[in-house]
Amino acid sequence: MTIAHDLFAESNPAFGTFTLVGFCRKYAAASGKAPALPLAYLALPIAMSHDLDKSFAETIATTGLLSWLNRYPDIRLELGARLTASREIVSAAVRFGLSSRALALGKDGTIGLGDGAPATAPVERLPEDPKRVIKRAERLGTWMGKAGSAGSILSAFGVVP
């Protein structure tokens, strides 16, 4: 029997929401506050990028964002195109997360966990590829939560408004 990976499943808004919940949860644990909404538009596309899997596999949660970027500077190459191509996927995930109350917008432009945020336990029951996407988002949440302001994080990636 041949097992095929459904690439479109990861662009599903519900999966994107579940991934953003993991990112927000780890960000808040590392920083004590919710991440700025623009960071979702950076974290989700990077987490969903299977070509970056090796760079994550060679790190741990304490590696840190800047150390990771220094080890793998090519992550910044074509980042603008990657972010532009994924804008609709992230927007759909945010909209779904807000409508399902898994995510909530803060008055200060942050996005955090809502009243309907799912538990973390279902992640372990996922197939390996989707599980790795969520683990990468969680790692980014930890790193970004310790890295400082949204402006400094975006600047480290070379992203300008």
Give the single-character DSSP code of 34.
P
pLDDT at 6 over 60: no
What is the C-alpha to C-alpha distance for residues 31 and 124, in angstroms, rounded to an integer?
25
Average pLDDT over residues 22-40: 97
pLDDT at 148 over 50: yes
Segments forming the whole domain that contains residue 29? 10-157
In a domain, 5, yes or no: no
Q: How many CB atoms lie within 10 A of CB 158?
A: 13
Strands (E), 13-120: 103-105, 111-113
In a domain, 4, yes or no: no
**Residue 126 confidence (pLDDT):** 81
**Residue 160 zone, left/alpha/beta (φ > 0; ψ -120 to 50; rest):** beta
What is the C-alpha to C-alpha distance for residues 69 and 147, in angstroms, rounded to an integer?
12
Provide the domain count of the chain: 1
Rg (CA), the chain: 15
In a domain, 91, yes or no: yes
- Per-residue pLDDT band at 28 (split at 50, 70, 90): very high
pLDDT in tens, 89-118: 999 999 999 999 999 999 999 999 999 988
pLDDT at 120 over 80: no
Task: Please report how the helices 37-47 and 79-99 are oriented relative to each other, as an axis angle in degrees rounded to 10.
Answer: 110
